[in-house]
Chain A
Amino acid sequence: MLSISLFAGMAEAAGCRRLEIPWAGGSVADLRAALGSAAPAIVPLLAKSAVAVGGRYARDADAVADGSDVAIIPPVSGG
């Protein structure tokens, strides 16, 4: 199981701040696909977003272990 944190416009699109999806292991790219199936409303923004695992930006080829702390990082606008 993965618990995925959502922020800003991503939380707004999903209608929640956290999504839980079953997870048997896989890459960040696999996670994007699983998330898109679980919450189709977030797909357009997800395509432009980064994925953070354990508080660090991850690449699509990086592995995501079951139980990891995952967050979707839509394009940032701080400052």
Chain B
Amino acid sequence: MQRIDMVRLVHETIDTAAALAAVASDAAGANVLFVGTTRGITDGFVTRSLEYEAHEPMARGELERLRDEAIARFGLADCVIVHRLGMVPVGEASVAIAASAPHRREAFAAAEWLMEQVKRVVPVWKREEAADGARTWVHPERAPEAAP
């Protein structure tokens, strides 16, 4: 198993089992693992692969901040966030979030909240390669919000 820091940016396959194992705790009765994978077909359009790029020091800082906030907000026992960078073939994991809590409601809510925040504020970008080889950076039509 990979050694797991609680927040990681990796350039290789994400060890999702290690992420889940890392949040195990005597205080936890609920352990949720969310795995985001590269989708091959979106609304009929075929994606061959995704490539991720990050402002790595800032992304790590934002992920640490989100993890701390999630632990406080949802009363988590523990939490791990892993994002993969570089080429991610279709079907492989680009992101994994593991959250443990005394009860399942908080663990599910924390994983959902963290994914929303990751997609909103963490400086990571994806470039889609379509079936015809065209590669396009994805920049959704909304700016990231300024820091609170």
Contacts and interface: CB of A to CB of B under 8 A. Distances in A.
A8 to B, nearest CB: 4
B146 A55 contact: no
Contacts of A8: 53, 125, 127, 137, 139
Given A8-B53, A52-B58, A76-B124, 17 more contacts: A48-B142, A50-B144, A50-B146, A55-B57, A55-B58, A55-B61, A59-B147, A71-B55, A71-B123, A75-B139, A75-B140, A77-B126, A77-B138, A78-B123, A78-B124, A78-B126, A79-B95
A76 B57 contact: no
Contacts, number: 98
A8 B104 CA distance: 37
Interface string A42-60: 0001001110100111110
Interface of A: 5, 7-9, 12, 45, 48-50, 52, 55-59, 71, 73-79
Nearest to A56: B147
